[in-house]
Structure 1
Amino acid sequence: MALDKEYWNIPKPSEDFLTTQGTNLTVFVDHADNALVWGLGASDVTAIAGVFIAAIALFGSLQQGHKAKKHNQLSIQPHLIISSSLQDDGKLLTFWLENCGLGPAVINDYSLKINDVLVADKSRYIGSNVQDTITTEILKLIARKTNSQSLKDKVLMNSQSAEVKTFVSSEVIPVGVSYKVIELKLDTRITNDAFDWVVGNCIQSVNYSDFYGKSFTISQA
């Protein structure tokens, strides 16, 4: 407890308290200054309480900011899907890359491996320069699932090359947009088994990010 000390000199009274004597008395007076605990006064406690309340408010503000940032990230998060289709009575084979998310996707890396042959990777994004390689490797896969030698030869001598989507570094795929990564028109109708064999041996992997820089990766055969 903090004390306020005062010293007073007052005349010493006589035994009958009617007259004073020559010697004065020294009186020591203690005044408490509203001290509470640990030697802290009311003003100290008020100041500490203010700092504590401010700390709580700051923590709440930081938490709210974190939640708001997370909400904003989720509100523009992209979601890429790799798919494939066989149309036109088994004569049109297509591989798709679609953004089904809520925000645009920024392509960081794209790789494509067909029949264990690396066709495209980060150093060489898929482009028209690998068009012949893609066509050749897909036709080889189809031929493996063709019993007749004459049909195999016809498959391998397909009159059209694959059309490919050219990817560049940091390319943006908008929301709801589907890209035909590969489209190959065939002279000979292929079976569903042959189609499944081709799809199972065409390995695509895509690394992409949202506009906040958060990275995602999909890999699908």
Structure 2
Amino acid sequence: MDINLIISISSIVIAVSALGATIYQAYLNRKHNRIAVTPHLHYWSKNDELNNTYSLEVINNGIGPARITKFELMLNGTIVEEKGMSKVSNTISKVFSGYELQMSSAYLDHDNCISPNQSIRIFNIIFHESSSISERKFKELLNQMRLVITYESFYNDSFKLDSDV
């Protein structure tokens, strides 16, 4: 065999190997980047029966921001069609009608983002002393509601937080 032919074949093998390694490295890099911007939303509830205070937060404990694509609230299995800030507050008022309370609430609109380690308080309810409620009764009434949040990463990977509140 001619030495020039051996050198040529060796050069081709090295070049193809380098190309394969580069393509594989690009694949791993893209996979890593996708993981590096993955959000993870979950609910966090805080119940202080002693002070008649109950709250629900959505927390992003993922690495990347969560872009909200859908915020659905259901009452007794029926989707609440209201839009905006009154969606949560009016639904809570219906669930706890007959109780005297103070409330603050939030609404996540389409394309809102929740940054990593950020939390959004969906509601905070303080029952007046004359309308105190046990944690058991609170949860029983709150089970009439269901909150479903659909969100995505900046790579458009879709996720859903679906929980009986």
TM-score w.r.t. the length of structure 1 is: 0.63
User: Partner amino acid for 1:129?
Assistant: S
Query: CA 1:112–1:177 in structure 2 vs 1: closer, same or farther (change >3 Å)?
Result: same
Runs of 4+ aligned residues of structure 1 deviating over 6 Å after TM superposition are none
| Structure 1, gaps ≥5 residues long | 1-35, 140-155
Q: Find the structure with the greater CA-based Rg.
A: 1
Deviation digits for residues 65-96 of structure 1, max 9, x if unmatched? Answer: 11122222223322111132222526222121
**Given the alignment of the two structures, is residue 174 of structure 1 paired with residue 115 of structure 2, yes or no?**
yes
State the SS of the aligned residue for 1:170. coil
Q: How do 1:55-94 and structure 2 match up within 5 A?
A: 55-87=16-48, 89=50, 91-94=52-55
* Structure 1 residue 130 displacement after superposition: 2.3
- Residue in 1 that maps onto 2:143: 200
- Residue in 2 that maps onto 1:31: none
Counterpart selection for 2:90 from 124, 133, 139: 133
The answer to whether the Cα contact below 8 Å between 2:40 and 2:60 also exists between their aligned partners in 1 is yes
Instruction: Determine what percentage of the aligned residue pairs are the same residue.
Output: 20
Deviation digits for residues 196-221 of structure 1, max 9, x if unmatched? Answer: 32343322222212222222222111
Deviation digits for residues 131-167 of structure 1, max 9, x if unmatched? Answer: 553123321xxxxxxxxxxxxxxxx333446422122
- Residue in 2 that maps onto 1:164: 105
Q: Distance in 2 between matches of 1:56 and 1:48?
A: 12
The answer to whether the Cα contact below 8 Å between 2:49 and 2:134 also exists between their aligned partners in 1 is no
The answer to whether the Cα contact below 8 Å between 2:44 and 2:58 also exists between their aligned partners in 1 is yes
Q: Distance in 2 between matches of 1:160 and 1:193?
A: 17
- Residue in 2 that maps onto 1:27: none
Counterpart selection for 2:75 from 97, 114, 139: 114
Structure number with the higher helix fraction is: 2
Query: CA 1:210–1:69 in structure 2 vs 1: closer, same or farther (change >3 Å)?
Result: same
State the SS of the aligned residue for 2:12. helix
User: Partner amino acid for 1:75?
Assistant: A
State the SS of the aligned residue for 1:89. helix
Q: How do 1:207-218 and structure 2 match up within 5 A?
A: 207-218=150-161
State the SS of the aligned residue for 1:59. helix
- Residue in 2 that maps onto 1:105: 66
Q: Distance in 1 between matches of 2:46 and 2:154?
A: 30
| Structure 2, gaps ≥5 residues long | none
The answer to whether the Cα contact below 8 Å between 2:60 and 2:118 also exists between their aligned partners in 1 is yes
| Aligned positions, number | 162
The answer to whether the Cα contact below 8 Å between 1:135 and 1:184 also exists between their aligned partners in 2 is no
